[in-house]
Amino acid sequence: MLPEKTQKITLILGIIIFLTTLFRLEAKDRSQPKDMDYRVQITVSLVHITASVTDHRGLTVFGLEKEDFEIYENGVLQNIAYFENARGLPKQILILLDVSGSMRILDKISAAKGAIEILINVLHPEDRIKLVVFADGELEEIANFESSKNSIIENLWKVRAFGKTALRDAVIEAPKHSKIQGTFQRCLLLISDGMDNASEMTLHEAIESARAVDLPIYSIGIDPLKGETVAPQKNQLTALKAMQTLSEETGGRFFHVKSSAEIQSALDNMIRDLENQYLMGFISNYSEQIGEHKITVKCKKWRCTVRARKGYFVDN
């Protein structure tokens, strides 16, 4: 048996070694990029960005490298901590489908379902789809990322349109369904006629929520009358403008469509964008500062335009 003094010294040394090892493990963990967790966590300063690039003709630009980009937070140039070209990666798409009563008018719901079915059928086996529908302020998960193509399509056509539209509320709730494990080409696909008549939340709150996640929103606004100046249509155009704003703030695109063919064309453009996404991130010096943090991503190539989320919010 060791003397009591020696036992105390041994115990103290053991505690010191344990704490030192724990600190090193935590430091190593902080130094590594996290999984693509869409929510910006105040305790983690790595900010993720998904970007797409087009040239002056509107054509997608691929084959870019880390050195071709600059990221600014609140106007200050940041060091790009990691970079990956997503070309060749599988896709993960969260579909948010409006199934409110107004989607029955002129059978917009069938046009949307038909386009979604075509989209699902052209995806590769390793690609993933989650289908969530919304009406009357409620979101319902119809299929998750592990569902088979056949089950997604079968459940899709069982959905019936009913109730009012709470589009802004649905966008705010969508991040709960957008968790991604792994690295994917990714986006949120929002399909609606835009007639928001039931949301409790404001457009500003929806934008704040949408910008808080690294998930480009591709919005398809179905408008069979295509902007004719009747009074209800003016209200719809205002609502569709809100969808456009959500897309622009998150690095996605908005498509104003009037037919099934135009919906399909919009989806083709979305897929082209996803297949040429760039995934990058930087260590923020401001992540614990409450309020809005503006992000600007630039491409050094001549006359190129970058679409990426324009910032994020820290609320507490």
Residue 38: predicted pLDDT: 38
pLDDT in tens, 1-48: 445 444 444 444 444 444 444 344 444 444 444 444 434 443 457 899
**Confidence band, pLDDT 50/70/90 cuts, at residue 224:** confident
Residue 194: predicted pLDDT: 81
Domains of the chain and any CATH numbers: 45-84+290-316 (no CATH), 91-274 (3.40.50.410)
pLDDT at 316 over 60: yes
**Confidence band, pLDDT 50/70/90 cuts, at residue 50:** very high
Residues 157 and 133 sit within 8 Å (Cβ to Cβ): no
The least confident of 62-71, 204-213, 224-233 is 224-233
What is the average pLDDT value for the chain, to the nearest integer?
84
Residue 41: predicted pLDDT: 41
pLDDT in tens, 145-204: 999 999 999 999 999 998 888 888 999 998 888 876 678 999 999 999 887 887 888 888
pLDDT at 103 over 70: yes
Q: What's the rounded Cα separation, in Å, for the pair 212 and 209?
A: 5
Residue 240: predicted pLDDT: 86
The least confident of 90-99, 103-112, 125-134, 193-202 is 193-202
pLDDT in tens, 297-312: 999 999 999 999 999 8
Q: For the chain, list the strands marked E by DSSP.
A: 46-54, 69-73, 76-78, 80-85, 91-98, 128-135, 138-143, 185-192, 217-222, 254-257, 278-283, 291-299, 305-307, 311-314
pLDDT at 210 over 80: yes
Structure tokens of 123? 């995806």
CA distances from 144 to 79, 177, 179, 234, 307 (A): 36, 9, 11, 36, 27
Record the pTM: 0.82
Percent with pLDDT over 70 in the chain:
81
- CB neighbours of residue 110 within 10 Å: 14
Residue 238: predicted pLDDT: 76
Q: Specify the 3-state DSSP secondary structure of 240.
A: helix
44 or 250: whose pLDDT is higher? 250
Structure tokens of 306? 């970058």
